Amino acid sequence: MSFSLASKVALVTGAGSGIGEAIALRFARAGALVWAADVNEDAARNTIRLIREGGGEGEALRLDVTSDADFVAALARVPIVDVLVANAGIGHVGTVLTTSVADFERILSVNVVGVLRTLKTWMPGMVERKRGAVVITGSTAGLEGLVDRFAYTASKHAVVGMMRCAALDHATSGVRVNAVCPGRVETPFVKARLREYPDPEAAYREMASTQAQRRMGTPEEIANAALFLASDEASFITGAALAVDGGWTAGMFPQK
């Protein structure tokens, strides 16, 4: 089955790299006109270049999800969307003892309040038109606790809770709200980190060992799941946190 977004307008935040870029490219191949939004406008333009090289349609949009002014400007350019992907996010390493209040607030400002701003900017139009699909990029960190990821895990638990409440509040409006929750994914950022280790292959195996399939996912695999949730084929799915994690959250398994 091929999921189609033909004749739909999709907006993806954090679309300049990694999972966001993969989602933007996948949605364009499915027929959507994609607005690639990113705080790095050059990166967003590069995503659009790739979309157009593949025969798709799209436009780049600078969007800092911590800036109310950026959202006002973005809404003026893109007043109507059919599919909204709240993907922009950042990470942080630290425990409750090593995470500063400033770091915690910075993570929440992007990962939580940034999602809130995204939903409040474009969901009202969806509800008014009585149609639309929202996909939020969560994480396995929103489904369980992670060691040494105090702020990030808190933010992703908040995101999953926000998704469920938004889905319930608007369940009869024609607007569906879901989350895709990736495990460890081999993004360009992760690849760069791996190259910093003395033995990148051993580091990869260690990072992949949390997942039952013994490998990391690819951005394209997360994008495929996001496409399904955004498509009409998922019409009876709302309020779902879809784990795309190679079996990480399925249960206990030997990690060595």
Residues annotated as part of the active site: 152
Query: What strand order describes the sheet that includes 175-182?
Result: 57-62, 33-38, 9-13, 83-86, 132-137, 175-182, 241-244
Which residues are CB-contacts of 235 (< 8 A; sequence separation ≥ 6)? Answer: 176
**What dihedral do alpha carbons 137, 77, 132, 113 form, nearest 10°?**
40
Numbers of helices and strands, H then E, in the chain: 9, 7
37/24 Cα distance (integer angstroms): 10
| Residue of 34, 83, 129, 118 lying closest to 234 (CA atoms) | 83
| Residue of 28, 132, 37 lying closest to 78 (CA atoms) | 37
156/73 Cα distance (integer angstroms): 27
Residues 57 and 79 sit within 8 Å (Cβ to Cβ): no
Helix (H) or strand (E) holding 67: none
Q: Write down the residue that tokens 């900017």 correspond to.
A: 121
